[in-house]
Structure 1
Amino acid sequence: MQEPKEIIAFYNLENFFDTKDDPHKNDNDYLPHGSNHWTENRYLGKVEGITAAIESIQPEKLPIVIGVAEIENSTVLKDLIYQPAFKGEYKYVHFDSPDRRGIDVALLYNQNLVQILESEKIPVRINGNSHFATRDILYVKAKIKQDNVHFFVNHWPSRGEGIMASNPKRVAAAECLHNKAKQILNQDKEAKILIMGDFNDLPVSKSISKHLQAKAHKNITEQQFYNLAAIPYQKKMGSLFAKKHWLMFDQIIISKGLLTGKGIRISAPRLTIHGDRSLLYFDQQAGIYKPNRTYTYHTYHGGASDHLPVYVALD
């Protein structure tokens, strides 16, 4: 029997709110008397659904690191890692960010296998505009086995106001991220950097390919990155379904140190989209399977998320 792999995953949890009113966040839709009728039973169902989704990635062993997006606060993270599947082995890194919707990113990790060395949040600013509010980028430096790995968890500004109108915001996020990554690579050209998140852009978008310098090929320089989502994207695969198309917004991107360096590496140079049947429903009108989301606008479906998890395995 093959040994279970050490897996690193990313999962957008689609508006993972608790049921308590936070006057400092725009959580009114996700209250028992809000427009989504977000009751305790529905919330607990989502906690269990997310747990089952993560378990299904590799039933023998949970991912040792899981980046997550669209979480409201530390309460939902605690409720998640207290589920029996996590066996009391997981902790998390999370900072509150200024996002107007009140959603953040976080990093879950198995404390028996991963040691956190440092962490910080990286604000995203456009031309120094302190009034622009979006999710911070989460930076975590961790030790796995004998190697240091630098993690960045992202949830870049959405395309809600239109692709072109919102593009400068994603470019700003890319440049903030690249500046921090460059600092690390200037100190150690073989640094092992893993960038993951919901980028609300495609692998070929300029924010990623040009401003972040994440390439679709392995022949990269020491200050460029390899986008493990490039192959699935080229095969017209995606992590979420919107406007009649699969979109590859959820991506994992690595530095040369994780591609060809010594020590731990990514065992297969591509990511896997976890499209387990339990996470999908059959849309009879469209004639295809789609991620079973929690809500469509204010209609409750009871699924775990409108995104599918993506992951890579360590060698």
Structure 2
Amino acid sequence: MMLAGSLLLIDSCSTPRKSEPKVKATSVVFYNVENLFDTINNQGERDFEFTPESPKKWNSERYTKKLNDISHVLMDVDTVGEPGLIGLAEIENQSVLNDLVRTKRMAPEKYQIIHEESPDYRGIDVALLYRPDIFKEITHTVIGIHFKDDPDYHTRDILYAKLLTGKHDTLHVFVNHWPSRLGGLEKSQPKRVFVASVLRAQVDSLLAINPRSKIIIMGDMNDEPENKSLFDVLKAIPGTDGTLHSLLYQASMKGKGTYYFRGNWNMLDNLVVSHDLLTAKNGWTTVPASGMVFHEKWMEYHNKKGEMAPNRTYGGPNYYGGISDHFPVYFILHR
């Protein structure tokens, strides 16, 4: 494990596996799970909101239900089997991740956890889960976000993991949760633009060493694929031109999204891959516009007007009993 502000940019692999994995297709999923907190009030952490004594009355029964519901979503997200990679946002700590991977639905896959505490003022982090029968961790690090013009603003680190699959197929994975739209889209946009520039610099560093690097970027960017941060700064475009490709751009243009706000769908959760994941002749590949939003009836809420939205866990202090205020996104990797 390496904790630093820059990546370990050595693209040689550790001791290779003796044979290629048997799995020929697997999914990559990202899910903002809406405040997955345990029920313990930890000293020095801003987590009293999620305790039995708080106005939300967050308790073990509600916590267990949320864990089981999240595992249900993740294990049902596609038809090629249990996901090989799962990115998560709004995770409190390592403990809740341990509880999640031990649920009945997820335990058989023996998911391994990559997670580090971030300085976010709400006490939420990102994490990456991976199946050890498909992937092996080489290293991971966090990329801290420091705003020179606003040094007291603390947001989530970007989590970077370098994974090996098969004999020599390396994946570089970035899990993100960019600053929120609090205060409005335009007012908050500069912070997301800055985070996008930090991430783009890391991508360029990888591509400078190996132009054929296979890169996966996932996360709740709090921006849509067509917004400045993703399209102009990160330069994640649709199709096969350029070095980074948005897998959800076309879906966003068709009005689809992962988050429902004031009558509109927003594609705030994004999937981006490097050129070689679309064109490589060996190892894992995917196809353009392959990003999908996953939801089933039991994940949805329908109001009196018939409008559908993700069935969230809370609205303010009111407990609704849903899973998350976001839908997950995913795409399929093929060998």
In structure 2, the partner of 1:119 is: 140
Which ranges in structure 2 are unaligned for 5 or more consecutive residues? 1-22
In structure 2, the partner of 1:91 is: 112
In structure 1, the partner of 2:60 is: 40
Letter in 1 for 2:254: K
1:165 correspondence with 2:187: yes
Superposition map of 1:190-209 within 5 A: 190-209=212-231
CA drift at 1:88: 5.0
1:229 correspondence with 2:226: no
Give deviations 1:100-143, integer Å, cap 9, x for gaps: 00000000111111101110000112237643310000000101
1:44–1:124 CA distance, 2 compared to 1 (3 A): same
Measure, in 1, the Cα distance between the counterparts of 2:146 and 2:296: 37
CA drift at 1:84: 2.0
Letter in 2 for 1:33: E
In structure 2, the partner of 1:135 is: 156
Measure, in 2, the Cα distance between the counterparts of 1:246 and 1:102: 27
In structure 1, the partner of 2:268 is: 249
1:82 correspondence with 2:102: yes
1:165–1:229 CA distance, 2 compared to 1 (3 A): same
Measure, in 1, the Cα distance between the counterparts of 2:310 and 2:152: 35
Measure, in 2, the Cα distance between the counterparts of 1:83 and 1:148: 29
Measure, in 1, the Cα distance between the counterparts of 2:287 and 2:251: 16
1:304 correspondence with 2:323: yes
Query: What secondary structure sits across from 1:78 in the alignment?
Result: helix
Letter in 2 for 1:170: R
Report if aligned partners of 1:125, 1:172 keep a CA contact under 8 Å in 2. Answer: no
Give deviations 1:56-109, integer Å, cap 9, x for gaps: 213662101000000000011000001122215111100000000000000011
Measure, in 2, the Cα distance between the counterparts of 1:130 and 1:121: 18
The two structures have a TM-score, normalised by structure 2, of 0.89
Measure, in 2, the Cα distance between the counterparts of 1:27 and 1:136: 19
RMSD: 1.6
Measure, in 2, the Cα distance between the counterparts of 1:98 and 1:307: 23
Measure, in 2, the Cα distance between the counterparts of 1:88 and 1:314: 18
Measure, in 2, the Cα distance between the counterparts of 1:60 and 1:312: 11
Report if aligned partners of 2:218, 2:271 keep a CA contact under 8 Å in 1. Answer: yes
Give deviations 1:143-195, integer Å, cap 9, x for gaps: 12341000000000000122122111111110111111111000000100000
1:298–1:59 CA distance, 2 compared to 1 (3 A): farther
Identity percentage of aligned residues: 35
Superposition map of 1:5-44 within 5 A: 5-44=25-64
1:148 correspondence with 2:170: yes
In structure 2, the partner of 1:57 is: 77
Report if aligned partners of 2:26, 2:80 keep a CA contact under 8 Å in 1. Answer: no
Give deviations 1:255-292, integer Å, cap 9, x for gaps: 1011112321114542010021221122223x122111
Bigger mean CA offset, 240-249 vs 3-12: 3-12
Query: What secondary structure sits across from 2:173 in the alignment?
Result: strand
Task: Give the paired residue count.
Answer: 309
1:189 correspondence with 2:219: no
The two structures have a TM-score, normalised by structure 1, of 0.94
Report if aligned partners of 1:71, 1:105 keep a CA contact under 8 Å in 2. Answer: yes
Letter in 1 for 2:90: E
Measure, in 2, the Cα distance between the counterparts of 1:281 and 1:171: 32
